[in-house]
Structure 1
Amino acid sequence: MSLNRPVLALVGAVTALAAVSAVAAVTTSADGKTPSASVAERRPVQRSTLVCPQPSTSELGETHLTAFTPAGGSGGGSDGGEAEAGLLPAVSTLDNGGTDRRGEDAEPLVPLTEPGTPVVHSADSTEVPALSGTATGALAPGWTVQQTTVIPGGGGRGLLGLACSAPDTRFWFAAVSTAEERLDYVHLTNPDEAPATVDLQLYGPDGLVETESGTGITVPAHSTVPVLLSTLTPEPLEDVTLHVAARAGRIGAQVQALDEERGADWITPSAGTTGTVVIPGIPGDATEVRLTAFTPGDSDVRLSVALAGASSSFTPAGQEALQVKSGMTTSVELKDLTRGEPASLVLTPEEGTADVPVVAAVRVTRGGEDEDDAGQEIAFLPSTAPVQERATAAGSGRKDGTLFLTAPGEAAKVKVTASPGAEGGTPADRTVELEPGTTTAVDDLVPEGGDGRFALTVERVSGGPVHVARMLEQPEDGVPMFTLQALSDDRGTVAVPPAREDLSILTEDD
C-alpha cells in the first residue's frame, strides 16, 4: 500500500497538470498573449443544437428549410477538427425488423459545408417531420435554420414561419388561446437520448387554470408530442399564458396557433424580462393589434405603453397604461396603433416595479379593413431581449422580407449584411444609424446577383440596446399572408473565465 501511494500521487499530479495546461490553453488569445485575469475572453462556441417542430399535416402545405451560419467566426475549426451541420428526424422510425434506423440511413436535411452560404430544402409539409440536429466546429457559431410553411387554403391556411430553437427546460408563451375558433397545439420535441418529463400550466384572466392532464407528460427520446391546449381548460378562454417546464431532460417547445377565420402561425417563447419590455416590428398596415401581458412574479405591475415609430415615440390614444396583476393574464385591443408606419411596442414599468418580470406578446392582424377585403391573416410577436452582438434571420427573399430595427432608449448603430443567395451572388451590407425611440424598416438590402433564399445578419456596432424582428409576406388570392419573427442574439460566442497556472494544486498534504 505504501508502494502504491507515490504511483497514485504521480498519476494524479500528471492528470492535474494536464488539466491546468488545458485551461491555460483555452484562455490564451490567438496572438499568444494571456488576457487580463479580471476580464473573461469571448470565444466562438464549439457546438450548437437546434430543434424544429413538425411543420404541418396539411396536404396543401409546402415547407422551406433554410440553414445558415454567418461568415467570419473561427468556431471550433481552429483545432483542426472537421465542421458539420445538419438536421435529422427527431422521431425514431422502425423498419419491419424492429431496428431503430434513425441516424443510420437518414440523410441529414440542409447540411452546411461552409459558413456564409445558405442551403435550402423544400418539400411537401407532410414529408417533413420534427427535426433536431447539431452544428460543430466553424459551422456552430450563429448556426440558424429557418422553417417557413405556405398553406394556400383549407384548415391552417397561412404563412407560418419560425427559427428552429435551442432546447431548454423552461418557456413562457403569451397570446395563446383555447377559444372555440382557435386550435393551439404546443409541440414538445426531445432531441436527446433519455426521455423528458414536462409540466404544462395555463394562466387565464382569473389566474392559474386547474388541470391534471397537463402534468407529467412524457416525451420519449428522439420524439415529439403535440398537445392541444383546449384539452387542458374546462371552458374556452380567449387569452391564456402558457408555462412549459421540463422537470427531467430538456425539450424544444413551440405553439402552432390555428384560427378558423384568420389563418395560422407559430407562437414562439416570450422573453421574461424585468425593466423595459420591447415587442419589435409591428407592420404599418396592421389593422388590429391585441396585446397580452403576464407577470409570474409576486407583485402587480403597471406598464406605460409607448410606440417607437419611424421618426419618434408616441403614446397610443386611449391606452397610456396597462395594469397587470400577478399570476393573471391581461389583454387589450390597441386600435389604430401604428398610424400607417412600422412601429414597436415599448412597455415601461412604473417606478418601484422595475424588478417585476413580465412576458408579453401581440397578435397582429392584416387585411379585413372593409367588406371588399378578401380576408385576414394573423401573426404573433413576443417580447424579446436586445441583440447583444449578432442575430441572423435566414430564408429571406428579394421581395418578401422586411427587417425591423428598434432602438427603444438610446441611439445605436448596426451593420446589416445580406448573405449570398442559395443559388449564388455576393454579399451586400449597410450601416444603419438608429435614432433613440424609433423603429427603422429595411426592405431593400439584397445580395448582388445570384438567386435563391438568403440570410440577413445584424451586428451591433455602438450605442444602446437594439431589438430586431423580421417579416416575411406572400399574398395569396387576396389574403395578405405574412409571418413575424422576433430575433434573439445568436449566442455565437461564450465567455471563457480567466485562468492561470497554479501548481500548488499538485501539492499533497500528508
Structure 2
Amino acid sequence: MTDRSRRSLPVRRLGPLEILAVLVPLLTVAALALVRPIDDADSTRPPTDVPLTRATLVCPPALPGTGTVALANADGTTGDVTTRIPAEDTVSLDGTVRTGIKKALVAQAEGELAAGFIGVRYGDAAASSCAVPRPEQWFTGVGAAPEHFSTLELVNPDGGPAVADVTVLGPSGPVDVPALRGVTVPGGRTMRFALADIVPTRDELALHVVVSRGRLGVDVVDHVDELGRGARSRDWLPSQGETGTTAYLLGLGGKVGDRTVVLANPGASEARVQVKVITKESEFSPADADEIRVAPGSTETVDLTELMEGKAARGALGLRLDATQPVTASLRTVAGGDLSHAVAGSRVSARASLAMPRGPSRLVLAGANGVGVATYVVTDEDGKEIARERVELKPGVASRVKLPRDGAVLDLMVERSGAFAALEIGPPGLTVLPLSELPLDGRVPSVRPALR
C-alpha cells in the first residue's frame, strides 16, 4: 500500500460558537437538577402574631336621638386618636371621651393605643358598638315589609373604593338582588340600601356581606312599625361573624313581649335545630318546644311568644340553639313598644371589653364550657375603677349582674373556661350588645419563595 493510501482525512476544529451550543444546554440541565421545590410542610406555616400597632373603628351614622359616640382604651392608655371621617381631626384620649356627632365616624389609634381601642354609639333605647372593619359577616332576621323593614349601611373608612357582595337568603332559598351584587363604595362615603325598596317582601331574610376589595364598616338598622297604635321603634341589628352549630342568644330584658327567632342555613343540607331556655339554674328544652327544620340555603322564622310567656320559661336570660348544621340566628323582641335584638355572639375565652352607654345596664353570662371564673371590672369616665366582681362559671347555668349606672368601660376576663356574654342596656327601652374577644394582636402572614 502506498503512502498516499495511508494518508488520514483532515480534522475540522470546533469553533467557539459550536462549543457554546453544546455546553449551554448541558449546564442548564445540571443547574435545574440542583433546584428542588420547597417542602409542602414548610408552605403551610401559620401567620405570626405581633402586637397590634394600628386599629380603625367605624361608628355608624346616628339614628334619631343617638348622636353620642364614646371612645376609650380598655387598658386606660392615653394619647391622641385621629378621626378620618367626617373630617380629619385629633382627639385626646384620657379616660372615656364622649362627643356629639351624627354622621358616620371613623377613628384610628396607633401605637400603644391600638390594642384595646373601643367605642360605642348610643342614645334613646338604641346602641351599636363601633367595630373594626371585617371581610365577612351575617345579619339574620332583616325585614323588607311595611311593618318590619331594615336598612343596610356601608361605610368606607379609606380613600380608595371598596367592593362588597351581599347574598340574600329567604324562606324559599337564595333571593336574586342585583342591586346588592358588586356594590362599589367610593372612598370616605356611606351608602344605604333600604331593603323594602330593592327586595320588597314580607318574608324574614338573612344577609351575608363579603367585602372583596378594600375595607367597609357594615351595619343594619332594623325598624318595626305596627299598624294602628302598635309599636314604632328602631335599633341596630348586631352582626354575627360566622355560622355555628351552637348559638347563645342572650339579653331578653325583664318585660313580656313578642319574640321571634329567625334562623339562616347557608349549607347544602337541612339543619334541625333544638331550642333550649337558659335560666340562672339550668338550660332545658321545654316540653312543647318542637324541633325547627331549616331547609338548605334558606331562612326559617318561628314565633316564640307563647313559649317564652309560659311558666317553664319564667326568669329566662336567653336561648340556646343546637343545630345539626352550621346556622346563624337572632331573636327579635318587641316589648313595651320597644325593639331589641339578641344575636348569637362568639365565645370569650380570655378577655372582652366594651365602651358603655350611659344608664342602667346588666352583664349576662352563659354557655361556660368548663368550670372557671369570670372577673369583670367597670371604670368611670376618668378611668377610675368603680366595680369589680368574680363570677363563677359552670356548664349549664347563667348569671345576670347589675352594673353601676356611671360606668364607662366594661372589662371582662375569663379564666379556665370560655363563656358567652352580652350587655343589656336600659330602661328606658332595651338594647343588647354582644361581647367578643378583644383583639390585642395583629397577624402577619408567612411569605417565602417557592423554590430554594
- Decide: shared fold, TM above 0.5: yes
**Which of 63, 67, 74 is 1:70 aligned to?**
74
1:50 shift after superposition:
1.0
Amino acid at match of 2:400: A
The secondary structure found in structure 1 opposite 2:69 is strand
Contact 2:153 2:192 in 1 (8 A): yes
Amino acid at match of 2:130: C
- Uncovered stretches (5+) of structure 1, i.e. residues with no partner: 1-37, 74-81, 91-101, 151-158, 368-375, 447-451, 476-480, 499-504
Contact 1:304 1:348 in 2 (8 A): yes
**Which of 199, 208, 218 is 1:243 aligned to?**
208
Within a 5 Å distance, the mapping from 1:320-359 to structure 2 comes to 320-334=290-304, 335-337=306-308, 339-349=313-323, 353=324, 356-359=325-328
The secondary structure found in structure 2 opposite 1:329 is strand
**Which of 466, 485, 488 is 2:419 aligned to?**
466
Q: Distance in 2 between matches of 1:487 and 1:361?
A: 15
**Which of 361, 371, 381 is 2:330 aligned to?**
361
Residue of structure 2 in register with 1:272 after alignment: 242
Calculate the aligned-residue CA RMSD, in Å. 2.9
Q: Distance in 2 between matches of 1:182 and 1:301?
A: 26
Within a 5 Å distance, the mapping from 1:259-408 to structure 2 comes to 259-260=224-225, 261-334=231-304, 335-337=306-308, 339-349=313-323, 353=324, 356-367=325-336, 376-397=337-358, 400-408=360-368
Residue of structure 2 in register with 1:256 after alignment: 221
Q: Distance in 2 between matches of 1:137 and 1:284?
A: 42
Q: Distance in 1 between matches of 2:188 and 2:253?
A: 38
- Whether 2:129 is the aligned partner of 1:113: answer no
1:391 shift after superposition:
1.1
Q: Distance in 2 between matches of 1:40 and 1:328?
A: 35
Contact 2:363 2:403 in 1 (8 A): no
Amino acid at match of 1:135: A
Post-superposition Cα deviations, 1:355-399, rounded to whole Å, max 9, x if no partner, equal: x321111102222xxxxxxxx1111122111013211121244x5
- Whether 2:437 is the aligned partner of 1:489: answer yes
Shift in alpha-carbon separation, 1:222–1:391, aligned structure 2, 3 A: same
TM-score, normalised to structure 1, is: 0.72
The secondary structure found in structure 2 opposite 1:438 is coil
- Uncovered stretches (5+) of structure 2, i.e. residues with no partner: 1-44, 226-230
Shift in alpha-carbon separation, 1:162–1:316, aligned structure 2, 3 A: farther
1:490 shift after superposition:
1.5
Within a 5 Å distance, the mapping from 1:120-269 to structure 2 comes to 120-121=98-99, 123=100, 127-150=101-124, 159-233=125-199, 235-260=200-225, 261-269=231-239
Q: Distance in 1 between matches of 2:269 and 2:293?
A: 11
Contact 1:362 1:382 in 2 (8 A): yes
Amino acid at match of 2:334: T
Q: Distance in 2 between matches of 1:383 and 1:133?
A: 27
Shift in alpha-carbon separation, 1:413–1:209, aligned structure 2, 3 A: same
Contact 2:96 2:381 in 1 (8 A): yes
Residue of structure 2 in register with 1:153 after alignment: none
Shift in alpha-carbon separation, 1:85–1:286, aligned structure 2, 3 A: farther
Same amino acid, percent of matched pairs:
25
Shift in alpha-carbon separation, 1:129–1:323, aligned structure 2, 3 A: same
- Whether 2:81 is the aligned partner of 1:85: answer yes
Which structure has the larger Rg over C-alpha atoms?
A: 2
- Whether 2:16 is the aligned partner of 1:45: answer no
1:438 shift after superposition:
1.9
Within a 5 Å distance, the mapping from 1:397-476 to structure 2 comes to 397=358, 400-419=360-379, 421-422=380-381, 425-445=384-404, 452-463=406-417, 465-475=418-428
Q: Distance in 1 between matches of 2:286 and 2:198?
A: 35
Post-superposition Cα deviations, 1:328-361, rounded to whole Å, max 9, x if no partner, equal: 1101011342734242221122xxx4xx321111
Amino acid at match of 2:393: L
Shift in alpha-carbon separation, 1:343–1:426, aligned structure 2, 3 A: closer
1:139 shift after superposition:
1.3
Shift in alpha-carbon separation, 1:41–1:205, aligned structure 2, 3 A: closer
Q: Distance in 1 between matches of 2:383 and 2:118?
A: 19
Contact 1:283 1:342 in 2 (8 A): no
Amino acid at match of 2:97: V
Amino acid at match of 2:55: S
Contact 2:279 2:317 in 1 (8 A): yes
Deviates most, 410-419 or 335-344 = 335-344
The secondary structure found in structure 2 opposite 1:337 is helix
Contact 1:281 1:405 in 2 (8 A): no
Q: Which has the higher strand share?
A: 2
Post-superposition Cα deviations, 1:117-167, rounded to whole Å, max 9, x if no partner, equal: 22212x3xxx521111211122111211010022xxxxxxxx221101111
Shift in alpha-carbon separation, 1:166–1:425, aligned structure 2, 3 A: closer
Post-superposition Cα deviations, 1:192-240, rounded to whole Å, max 9, x if no partner, equal: 121012222321111112222222322100111011011221x422311
Amino acid at match of 2:143: S
TM-score, normalised to structure 2, is: 0.81
Shift in alpha-carbon separation, 1:286–1:249, aligned structure 2, 3 A: farther
Contact 1:83 1:139 in 2 (8 A): yes
Shift in alpha-carbon separation, 1:227–1:220, aligned structure 2, 3 A: same
Amino acid at match of 1:359: T
Amino acid at match of 1:361: S
Amino acid at match of 1:482: L
